[in-house]
Amino acid sequence: MIDVKINFLSLLADITKIKELNLSIQDNSTIKEILEKLISKFGKDFERKILDSPDSLSKYIILGLNGKDIRTLENLDTVVSHHDEILLLPAIAGG
């Protein structure tokens, strides 16, 4: 088992009712597997905000792993390591 820290910002913190979660997961878990656990914990409203489909992160969500956007890594197939930090942030637009 490994531990990862997940930070929820803005609207996602409102949905989850927490800003930070420490999660114990299996070695070699992927971002997708972590998101499945989070959806199980926080429900359909959370799922609708973060995913466009089961295999596609919403274009309105920034998901960072240790400061890097997962889209520049292996996307949802990115494997996490012990003590990694995950950031979930809704994109902010203005005009």
Give pLDDT, residue 43: 97
Beta bridge partners of 30: 79
Residue 56, in any domain of the structure: yes
Residue 58, in any domain of the structure: yes
Residue 50, in any domain of the structure: yes
Residue 95, in any domain of the structure: no
Whether 93 has a pLDDT exceeding 70, the answer reads no
Residue 24, in any domain of the structure: yes
SS3 state at 6: strand
Give the pLDDT mean for 7-26: 97
Q: What is the CATH number for 73?
A: 3.10.20.30
Residue 70, in any domain of the structure: yes
Whether 1 has a pLDDT exceeding 70, the answer reads yes
Give pLDDT, residue 10: 94
For residue 21, give the DSSP letter.
E
Q: How many domains does the chain have?
A: 1
Which pLDDT tens digit goes with each residue over 29-70?
999 999 999 999 999 999 999 999 989 999 999 999 999 999
User: Is-contact 59 39, C-beta < 8 A?
Assistant: no
Q: Which domain holds residue 81?
A: 2-90
Residue 16, in any domain of the structure: yes
Residue 33, in any domain of the structure: yes
Question: Of 50, 39, 37, 42, whose CA–CA distance to 80 is shortest?
Answer: 37
